[in-house]
Amino acid sequence: MSSQSSPYSLILTSRPEPSVSLITLNRPKALNALSTPLLLEINQALEEAENDDDIGAIILTGSEKAFAAGADIKEMKDKEFADVYKSDFLYNWTRITRIQKPIIAAVSGYALGGGCELAMMCDIILASPTATFGQPEIKLGIIPGAGGTQRLTHAIGKSRAMELILTGRNFSAKEAETWGLVSRVVDAGEGEVVKEAIKVAAIIASKGRISVQAAKEAVNAAYELSLNEGLRLERRLFHPLFATKDQKEGMAAFAEKREATFTHS
């Protein structure tokens, strides 16, 4: 795993595979609580990975103890309505959703409040058996403000999401897997979820980048569009891929019974 020197103080960046970017939240004393400076560093690292032609997939992770234990309450507690309204507080949290390359959340330990929302903004969630999810904002006299009421409801259904958000109850990795919030729970062991995320990211990065980007766009659109509109978008993304060199290479390789060598063009 190669590390990269960077100006970051709240995250670590590395390249565990030549085509995979790993971003690790690094506020251990605060259990990776999500502050504005931390989010700005995450956004900058995501932009760098997005603009790096060598990168085909991104992993976002935290520590064994906490992916991110929530928003930084010390930063939020004294804010007034005018402050949060005029600054559109938390808008910069959503930059991750506009990244075109696939992002995998590798979650161990606590993913609560903003941490759960951050994981849900990623394209795939892999969870350690130790992962604990939740939207406990109701206990603080507020509600989720970075997508929790919307993404959790889309993922696990209205009744279940309503119970969790109104009670603030945490839920386990196993529950998250059963309900469809996470892709799967990996084997137990320190670092196993990151190792598995690297494997998945490397497989994705080995595919043609144009088709991967189109597939991500199509799947994400399913949350926003009716079935008929989604099917039309899918075909509109499917047809142009026949103008790419990767489509020609992929189908030729299949016919010739060999591995495809994609050029991402």
Give the residue numbers marked as catalytic. 71, 114, 117, 137
Q: Helices (H) and strands (E) in the chain — how many of each?
A: 11, 11
Question: Do 132 and 170 meet the contact criterion of CB atoms below 8 Å apart?
Answer: yes
Q: Where are the alpha helices (DSSP H) in the chain?
A: 36-50, 73-76, 81-86, 114-121, 148-156, 158-167, 173-179, 192-205, 209-221, 227-238, 245-255
Question: Tell me, what amino acid is at 134?
Answer: G
Half-sphere exposure of 86 (CA within 13 A, CB side): 5
Residue 124: strand pairing partners: 104
